[in-house]
Amino acid sequence: MKHFISIADLSRAEAESVLATSEQMAATQSRSIRKLPTLVGTTVVNLFMEDSTRTRISFEAAAKRLSADVINFSAKGSSLSKGESLKDTALTLQAMGADAVVVRSSSSGAAHLLAHSGWIDQPIVNAGDGTHEHPTQAMLDAFTLRRHLGGRTGTAGLDGLHVVIVGDILHSRVARSNVLLLSLLGARVTLVAPPALLPVASGDWPCEVSYDLDAALAQGPDAVMMLRVQRERMIGGGFFPTEGEYARRYGLSEDRAARLPDHALVLHPGPMNRGFEIAGSVADGPRSVIVEQVANGVSVRMAVLYHLLASNAREDAS
Amino acid sequence: MNDAAHTTAVLGSDEIRRALTRIAHEILEGGHGADDLVLLGIPHRGVPLADRLAATILEAEGRPADRLRDLAGSLDITLHRDDLRRSPTRQPAPTVIPPGGVDGRTVVLVDDVLYSGRTIRAALDALSGIGRPAAVRLAVLVDRGHRELPIRADHVGKNLPTSRSERVQVRLRETDGVDEVTIARGTEGSTRA
**Using an 8 Å Cβ cutoff, are A266 and A285 in contact?**
yes
**pLDDT value of position B193:** 45
Radius of gyration of chain B (CA): 16
**pLDDT value of position A89:** 87
Question: Angle, to 10 degrees, between the axis of helix A135-153 and the axis of helix A12-28?
Answer: 90
This complex has an ipTM of: 0.86
Element (H, E) at A12: helix A12-28
A160 φψ region: left (φ > 0), alpha (ψ -120 to 50), beta (else)? left
Neighboring chain B residues of A28 at a CB cutoff of 8 Å: 79, 95, 129
* Distance between CA atoms of residues A93 and A317, nearest Å: 21
Candidate from A103-112, B121-130, B183-192 with smallest mean pLDDT: B183-192
Reported confidence tier of residue A233, pLDDT bands at 50, 70, 90 = confident
**pLDDT value of position A295:** 95
Mutation for testing the A interface, residue in B89, B121, B130 having most A CBs under 10 Å? B89
Using CA coordinates, name the residue in chain A closest to B85: A311
- Is the model more confident about B192 or about A90? A90
**Average pLDDT, stretch A30-35?**
88
Reported confidence tier of residue A75, pLDDT bands at 50, 70, 90 = confident
* Position B187 pLDDT exceeds 70: no
Percent of chain A with pLDDT over 90: 76
From A56, A65, A104, A146, the catalytic residue: A104
**Using an 8 Å Cβ cutoff, are A179 and A172 in contact?**
no
Contact B95 A24 (CB under 8 A): yes
Contact B92 A24 (CB under 8 A): yes
**pLDDT value of position B177:** 96
**pLDDT value of position A317:** 44
Using CA coordinates, name the residue in chain A closest to B89: A311
**Average pLDDT, stretch B58-68?**
92
Q: What is the tens place of the pLDDT at every residue in A33-60?
A: 899 999 999 999 999 998 888 899 999 9
* Distance between CA atoms of residues A63 and A303, nearest Å: 10
Is A38 known to be catalytic? no
Q: What is the tens place of the pLDDT at every residue in B154-184?
A: 999 999 999 999 999 999 999 999 999 999 9
Q: Does A24 touch chain B (CB under 8 A)?
A: yes
Using CA coordinates, name the residue in chain A closest to B122: A37
Percent of chain A with pLDDT over 70: 96
**pLDDT value of position B2:** 46
* Position A250 pLDDT exceeds 90: yes
Contact A310 B95 (CB under 8 A): no
* Position A315 pLDDT exceeds 60: no
Residue B34 amino acid letter: A
| Structural domains of chain A in order of their starting residue, each with its CATH number | 7-132+295-312 (3.40.50.1370), 135-292 (3.40.50.1370)
**pLDDT value of position A52:** 87
Radius of gyration of chain A (CA): 19
A231 φψ region: left (φ > 0), alpha (ψ -120 to 50), beta (else)? alpha
**Average pLDDT, stretch B50-57?**
96
* Distance between CA atoms of residues A87 and A100, nearest Å: 16
Contact B129 A25 (CB under 8 A): no
Element (H, E) at A67: none
**Average pLDDT, stretch A5-22?**
97
**pLDDT value of position A318:** 38
Q: Does A25 touch chain B (CB under 8 A)?
A: yes
Q: Which CATH class is domain B14-84+95-162?
A: alpha beta
Establish whether A82 is an annotated binding residue. Answer: yes
Residue B83 amino acid letter: D
Reported confidence tier of residue B5, pLDDT bands at 50, 70, 90 = low
Question: How is B49-117 classified by DSSP, letter by letter?
Answer: HHHHHHHHHHHHTT--GGGHHHHEEE---GGG-S-GGGSSPPPP---B--TT-STTSEEEEEEEEESSS
